[in-house]
């Protein structure tokens, strides 16, 4: 190991103490370690997911836009713990725009909405690319090598089905759903087979997933305008006629509070018009694009994405309930809604906790870790891990700004709160060079070092305001940090000369999700030259990401403890009046461990129970699921209790003060009264 300053004492690599809770995971994992999982499956962007099962393994891919390599392939045996396998596309170079040359780019226009399939020993990924035909990648082994060819036409948001009789079908389109048969070499549709099978007015949308299940044909799609939802269609024949169900999933966003919802950005040049999130519950962040899959043990599960603030579009896992022949996301008593925390899929043998990527990198290995992706196609001879052992060296290529700088190395940001930190060595930088750490987005911002004449300057730049902060830097080694809160949509930069004490620079940033890159915020390491020439080099010694909340609970379930439950934002809570449950001053309840992240709440007057009509009461004799609650947190940390009797959430109606378990999901504005804050009573 080369010389480096010791990392923060008590950092997450050893375990971070948070509100009395020692967090052992270094990065987000959905596996709670108790037989349950918490959504999202990845708290980083994984959008437009498509999934297949081959034997005991599930395989997953998704959109990567302009980032290279693209089309990641992950695999899992339990749908919760995933590992990285390969990228199907190491590069996609179809001209100057793919290389950030001649003032052109493919921001938000690379690989998107892939269709993942397996047939007769071959893995297939079909992907859209703006302005070009559909691209096809094939492999006998998902680890590669992957072969590539282009189709003769572009099929928007396509999904391919290899039918039992050997025929190959494709559906595609936006609102008007098209159908055709594919030729044997998968380069085009068979002439004369294209037809519209579902008209615009049926409400099917886009993002198609095509299946054959028990002899019937299903198409699952996404509707994003207004209330996001997942429609489905079914037919007895692949070409139809199709019957449409307008919502097998709708209005589920896990209760991300309105005060913490994504900002809206308009305009094409800075300063952009950035507006607060919509104060009205509109369903704009709901689960809306994905599909379904069956496990080896016969269970059905759904997967879908949701727009989740500037961290990007995340993937969630949902139990599927078949009802009247339709695959509804959700539980039998609460169709179309997905619990944020639920029991993991059944497997033949327990699976270890895994994450697909290792985010930290000391750059001492022979290659970059799979988490890294280049912004567009890189210039291979302009970066190295070998020129200076133990460092990532980025040579400075000519650019006018970070937006058109080549060889910018990125990785997806991770929520809910995180802080990327890197160490930059500046001794090889030359006149006009700029290098550092960015939050790459639109607007973007960065902190770094600029070489001007004989001076080395620390610089922080904000594209939104156009402001640049500069100060002299008298050391060749500097630590750069960006603290990101994706629940508050705020970030700030800081620097250090010893790796321990950090000093803030510049004003706080408002983070947004936007459609210019069609990606969430990315951490980025960059080096470019503003003098129009190839400059020197920036050497990055290490990169790490600190995460204070890498598990599904910000606070552990207080099993065996006595607590009080206050209604969130209200002067009352779950109380007892005249030996009956009432909305008064919070009473004391003991939390009883029922395993699988479930609890019963016992007071001196009885156990909290849900009656057949959904009413809450105290009972002396618990029966069945009446007293069982799944202990769940909203993304912002409030407690919500899912009744196993009704599959709905306990709430205190703010108007009537009635206590019931009938809330489909915690509403973002808390108008249903389903959120609680618990505190220890001892």
Q: Which residues make Cβ contacts (< 8 Å) with residue 671, sequence separation at least 6? A: 281, 654
The per-type count for the chain, helices as H runs and strands as E runs, is: 0, 55
Predicted pLDDT of residue 14: 30
Neighbours of 12 (CB within 10 A): 21
pLDDT of residue 278: 64
Q: Is the pLDDT of residue 90 over 80?
A: yes
Q: Tokens 């990125």 sit at which residue?
A: 410
Residue-wise DSSP of 227-284: S-EEEEEEESSTT---EEEEEEEES-STT--GGGSPPEEE-SSSSPEEEPPPSS---T
Name the residue with higher pLDDT: 8 or 648: 648
pLDDT at 70 over 90: yes
Delimit the CATH 2.60.120.200 region(s) of the chain.
Answer: 373-546
Class of domain 45-252+287-343 (CATH, top level): mainly beta
Q: How confident is the model at residue 594 (pLDDT cuts 50, 70, 90)?
A: very high
Length of the chain equals 682
Q: What is the token pair recorded at 372?
A: 């890294």
CATH code for 562-680? 2.80.10.50
CB atoms within 10 A of CB 21: 14
**Position 8 pLDDT exceeds 70:** no
Q: What pLDDT sits at residue 285? A: 80
CB environment 36-58: b (16+ within 10 A), e (fewer) = bbbbbbbbbbbbbbbbbbeeeeb
Question: Lowest-pLDDT range, 7-16, 125-134, 392-401, 524-533?
Answer: 7-16
CA dist 603 and 591 (Å) reads 9
Provide DSSP, 537-561.
Answer: EEEEEEEEEE-S--SS-SS---TT-
Look at residue 262 in the predicted model and tell me its pLDDT. Answer: 64
Handedness of CA 11, 14, 20, 23 (dihedral sign): positive
Distance CA 582, CA 73 (A): 52
pLDDT of residue 446: 98
Which residues, in sequence order, are bridge partners of residue 298? Answer: none
Tell me the average pLDDT across 644-669.
96
pLDDT bracket for residue 281 (50, 70, 90)? low
Q: What was the pLDDT predicted at 587?
A: 97
* Chain region(s) in the chain for CATH 2.115.10.20: 45-252+287-343
Kindly report the average pLDDT of the chain as a whole number.
93
The string of DSSP letters for 360-418 reads -B-S-SSS--TT-EEESS--GGGEESTTTTTSEEEE-EE-SSGGG-SS-EEEE-BSSEE
Contact between residue 609 and residue 627 where contact means Cβ atoms under 8 Å apart: yes
pLDDT band at 2 (very low <50, low <70, confident <90, very high): very low
Using the predicted structure, report yes or no on whether residue 17 has a pLDDT greater than 70: no
User: Three-state DSSP class for 150?
Assistant: strand
pLDDT exceeds 90 at position 182: yes
Looking at residue 264, its pLDDT comes to 73
pLDDT in tens, 145-168: 999 999 999 999 999 999 999 999
What pTM did the predictor assign?
A: 0.94
**Where in the sequence of the chain do the CATH 2.80.10.50 domains occur?**
562-680
By C-alpha distance, which of 475, 380, 394, 476 is closest to 438?
Answer: 394
- The residues facing 189 across adjacent strands are 182
Of the two residues 48 and 260, the one the predictor is more confident about is 48
Q: Class of 373-546 per CATH? A: mainly beta
Neighbouring C-beta atoms of residue 352, cutoff 10 Å:
8
The dihedrals phi and psi of 453, each to the nearest 5 degrees, come to 60, -130
Q: With CA atoms as reference, report the closest residue to 627 among 590, 601, 659.
A: 601
Q: What is the pLDDT of residue 225?
A: 83
Burial 289-298 (b: 16+ CB within 10 A, else e): bbbbbebeee
Interval 654-674 mean pLDDT: 95
Share of the chain above pLDDT 90, in %: 89
Residue with tokens 């019937």: 216
Q: Are 464 and 274 in contact (CB under 8 A)?
A: yes
Residue 202, SS3?
helix
pLDDT category of residue 224 using cuts at 50, 70 and 90:
confident
Q: In sequence order, what are the residues at sequence separation of 6 or more whose Cβ sits closer than 8 angstroms to the Cβ of residue 166?
A: none
b or e along 106-144 (b: 16 or more beta carbons within 10 Å of the residue's beta carbon)?
A: bbbbbbbbbbbbeeeeebbbbbbbeebbbbbbbbeebeb
**Biggest alpha carbon–alpha carbon distance for the chain:** 82
Average pLDDT over residues 483-500: 96
> 64: which residues sit within 8 A by CB, 6+ positions away?
70, 71, 72, 110, 111, 112, 373
pLDDT of residue 623: 78
Residues whose CB is less than 8 angstroms from the CB of residue 481 and which lie 6 or more positions away in sequence, other chains included: 419, 420, 421, 437, 447, 493, 494, 495, 496, 502
pLDDT band at 51 (very low <50, low <70, confident <90, very high): very high
pLDDT for residue 279 is more than 80: no
Cβ-in-10-Å burial (0-12, 13-18, 19+) of 595 comes to exposed
């Amino acid at each position: 190991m080369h010389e480096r300053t010791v990392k923060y004492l008590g950092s997450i690599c050893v375990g971070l103490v948070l509100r009395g809770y020692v967090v052992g995971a270094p990065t987000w994992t959905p596996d709670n370690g108790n037989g349950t999982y918490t959504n999202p499956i990845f708290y980083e962007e994984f959008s437009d997911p498509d999934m297949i099962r081959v034997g005991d393994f599930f395989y997953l891919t998704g959109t990567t836009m302009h980032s290279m390599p693209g089309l990641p392939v992950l695999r899992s045996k339990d749908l919760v713990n995933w590992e990285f396998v390969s990228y199907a596309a190491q590069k996609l170079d179809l001209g100057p725009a793919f290389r950030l040359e001649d003032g052109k780019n493919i921001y938000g226009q690379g690989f998107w909405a892939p269709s993942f399939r397996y047939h007769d020993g071959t893995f297939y990924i079909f992907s859209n690319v703006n302005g070009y035909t559909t691209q096809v990648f094939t492999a006998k082994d998902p680890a590669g090598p992957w072969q590539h060819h282009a189709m003769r036409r572009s099929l928007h948001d396509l999904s391919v089905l290899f039918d039992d009789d050997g025929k190959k079908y494709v559906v595609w389109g936006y609102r008007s759903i098209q159908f055709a048969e594919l030729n044997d070499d998968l380069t085009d549709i068979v002439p004369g087979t294209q037809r519209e099978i579902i008209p615009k007015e049926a409400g099917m949308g886009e993002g198609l997933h095509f299946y054959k299940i028990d002899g019937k044909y299903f198409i699952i799609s996404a509707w994003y305008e207004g209330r996001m939802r997942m429609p489905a269609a079914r037919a007895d024949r692949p070409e139809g006629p199709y019957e449409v169900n307008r919502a097998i999933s709708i209005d589920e966003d896990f209760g991300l509070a309105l005060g913490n919802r994504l900002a809206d950005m308009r305009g094409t040049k800075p300063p952009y018009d950035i507006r607060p999130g919509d104060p009205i519950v509109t369903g704009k962040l709901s689960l809306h694009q994905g599909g379904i899959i069956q496990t080896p043990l016969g269970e059905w599960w759904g997967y879908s994405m949701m727009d989740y603030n500037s961290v990007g579009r995340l993937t969630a896992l949902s139990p599927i309930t078949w009802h009247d022949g339709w695959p509804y996301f959700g539980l039998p008593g609460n169709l179309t809604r997905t619990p944020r925390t639920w029991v993991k899929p059944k497997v033949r043998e327990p699976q270890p906790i895994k994450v697909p990527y290792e985010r930290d990198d000391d750059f001492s290995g022979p290659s970059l870790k799979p988490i890294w992706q280049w912004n567009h196609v890189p210039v291979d001879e302009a970066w190295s891990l070998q020129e200076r052992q133990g460092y990532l060296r980025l040579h400075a290529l000519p650019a006018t700004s970070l937006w058109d700088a080549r060889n910018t190395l990125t990785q997806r940001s991770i929520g809910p709160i995180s802080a990327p930190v890197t160490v930059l060595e500046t001794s090889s930088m030359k006149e006009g060079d700029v290098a550092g750490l960015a939050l790459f987005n639109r607007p973007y911002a960065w902190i770094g070092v600029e070489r001007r004449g004989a001076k080395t300057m620390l610089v922080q730049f904000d594209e939104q305001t156009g402001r640049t902060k500069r100060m002299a830097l008298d050391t060749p080694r500097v630590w750069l940090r960006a603290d990101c809160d994706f629940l508050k949509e705020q970030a700030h930069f800081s620097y250090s000369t010893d790796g321990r004490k950090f000093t803030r620079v510049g004003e706080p940033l408002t983070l947004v999700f936007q459609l210019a890159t069609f990606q969430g915020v990315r951490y980025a390491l960059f080096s470019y030259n503003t003098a129009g020439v190839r400059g020197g080099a920036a050497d990055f010694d290490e990169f790490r990401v600190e995460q204070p909340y890498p598990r599904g609970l910000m606070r552990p379930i207080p099993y065996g403890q006595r607590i009080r439950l206050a209604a969130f934002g209200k002067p009352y809570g779950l109380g007892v009046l005249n030996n009956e449950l009432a909305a008064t001053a919070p009473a004391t309840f003991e939390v009883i461990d029922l395993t699988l992240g479930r609890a019963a709440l016992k007071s001196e007057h009885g156990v909290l129970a849900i009656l057949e009509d959904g009413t809450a009461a105290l009972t002396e004799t618990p029966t069945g699921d009446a007293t069982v609650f799944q202990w769940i947190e909203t993304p912002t940390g409030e407690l919500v209790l899912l009744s196993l009797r009704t599959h709905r959430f306990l709430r205190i109606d703010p108007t009537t003060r009635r206590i019931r378990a009938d809330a489909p999901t915690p509403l973002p504005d808390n108008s249903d009264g389903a959120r609680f804050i618990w505190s220890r009573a001892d």
